[in-house]
Amino acid sequence: MIKNFAELEAKLSGETVKRRIAVVWAAEEHTLTAVKHIVDKGLVIPVLIGNKLEIEKVAQKVGLDSQKFELIPADDEVKASELAAQLAKDGNVDGIMKGALETGVLMKVLVNKEKGIRSKSVMSLLAFMESPNYHKIFAVTDVGLLTYPTLEQKQGALENAVIAYRALGINNPKVAVLAAVEHVNPKMPDSVDAGELKELNKQGVIKDCIVEGPISYDLAMDPESKIIKKYDSPVAGDADILVVPDIVSGNLLAKSLTCTGGAKTCGIILGALVPLIITSRAATIEDKYMAIILSALIGKR
C-alpha cells in the first residue's frame, strides 16, 4: 500500500538508477519549473528536445542548471516528437513528457505505425488520486482518453493499470468496475460489462488482480457501506483501481474529487513503450512534478 504521493517520491529517491525523461518541445516555463524541482532533488535526468536557444532561455529563467540536463536540438515539433519516440525505442528514456506543443501533434507521431511507440492495442489514461478521505492512493481509468470504451477497451485499460501498479511494487491490486448497481442488469450495459470483466478475472484471462463488479462507488471506497449493505468482497472499501464506464463519468469523478473533495491528482498515458505525460499546459507545476515521478517509477527499464 502506498498512502500518499510523498511515498511515491521517496520510492523514486531510493532507486539506484536515475531515470531519464524526454521532454518534447521543452521550452515551456511551467514544465521546466517542474523539471527543475525534480533535478534539484536528484531524482531524474531530463532530456530536453526542441529549439536549443529557446530551451536555454527558459531554463535560465527558471533556474535550471544547464549542466544537469541533456539537450537535443530539433527544428520543429514533429521532429522533436520523432526524436523522443526513437529514444524510447532504443531504451534510452523511461518516459516522454509533452512540453509547449499541442497534444495532437505529439500523439500523432507516438501512435504512428512506423515511427511510433504504441505497444498495446489499447492506450489509456490512468489518473492517480491522493484523497484526504481515503487510506491510500488509488487510480481511476479512463478519465480522458477512451471516450465510450467497449468491453475489450475496458479490459485493456484495466490491464494497463494493473501493470502500472505492479511496477510500483503493488501485486494483486483490487479493481472495482463501477456501475450504478451491484448486480448485473441487462438493461444497464455498464453493469453487464462489469460482470463480464469479473468473470474474465475468475477464468484467469485477466490476471494479477482481484476484480469486483458491478460495484457502486460507495461500496468500493467506504468500509462502512460494505458493512451496512452486507456486501462480501475483498475489494469493497479497499479498492486500488476504479474502472469507470465512460469518459463522462471518469471526468466528473476526477474533477469532483479534486475540485470539491480536496484530492490531489496526476496522470499518465499507458499502453506505449514508456509512460506518456500529456498534462495540459495549464496544469499546475505540482501536477507535472508528480506525473514525472510516476512516469519514472512505472517506466523503469
Q: Is the pLDDT of residue 163 over 90?
A: yes
Cβ–Cβ under 8 Å, residues 162 and 175? yes
215-225 pLDDT tens trace: 999 999 999 99
Distance, C-alpha 134 to centroid of its chain: 19
Percent of the chain past pLDDT 70, that is, above it, reads 99
Residue 234: how many other CB atoms lie within 10 Å: 11
Average pLDDT of the residues in 177-202: 97
**Pair (52, 111) in one structural domain:** yes
Percent of the chain past pLDDT 90, that is, above it, reads 94
The range of the structural domain enclosing residue 280 comes to: 5-119+272-298
DSSP state of 143: S
Closest CA to 274 of 129, 91, 99, 107: 91
**Pair (240, 139) in one structural domain:** yes
Q: Is the pLDDT of residue 157 over 90?
A: yes
262-274 pLDDT tens trace: 999 999 999 999 9
**Pair (162, 59) in one structural domain:** no
56-108 pLDDT tens trace: 999 999 999 999 999 999 999 999 999 999 999 999 999 999 999 999 999 99
pLDDT at 115: 85
Q: Is the pLDDT of residue 259 over 90?
A: yes
Residue 114: pLDDT band (50, 70, 90) is: confident
Element (H, E) at 197: helix 189-202
pLDDT at 156: 98
Average pLDDT of the residues in 183-192: 97
CA torsion 97→87→117→143, rounded to 10°? -10
Q: Is the pLDDT of residue 301 over 80?
A: no
**Pair (162, 259) in one structural domain:** yes
pLDDT at 29: 94
pLDDT at 223: 94
Mean pLDDT across the chain? 95
Average pLDDT of the residues in 119-141: 96
Q: How far apart are CA 192 and CA 256, in angstroms?
A: 26
Q: How far apart are CA 191 and CA 174, in angstroms?
A: 18
84 — alpha (psi -120 to 50), left (phi > 0) or beta?
A: alpha
pLDDT at 268: 96
Residue 281: pLDDT band (50, 70, 90) is: low
pTM, full prediction: 0.95
**Pair (128, 114) in one structural domain:** no
Cβ–Cβ under 8 Å, residues 270 and 160? yes
Q: How far apart are CA 297 and CA 19, in angstroms?
A: 8
Q: Is the pLDDT of residue 193 over 80?
A: yes
Q: Is the pLDDT of residue 146 over 60?
A: yes
**Pair (58, 143) in one structural domain:** no
**Pair (131, 207) in one structural domain:** yes
Q: How far apart are CA 156 and CA 173, in angstroms?
A: 15
Average pLDDT of the residues in 230-242: 96
End-to-end CA distance of the chain: 22
SS3 category, 27: coil
**Pair (64, 26) in one structural domain:** yes
**Pair (88, 212) in one structural domain:** no
Number of domains in the chain: 2
CATH of the domain at 84: 3.40.50.10950
**Pair (140, 261) in one structural domain:** yes
**Pair (151, 74) in one structural domain:** no
CATH of the domain at 256: 3.40.718.10
**Pair (104, 184) in one structural domain:** no
Average pLDDT of the residues in 32-38: 96
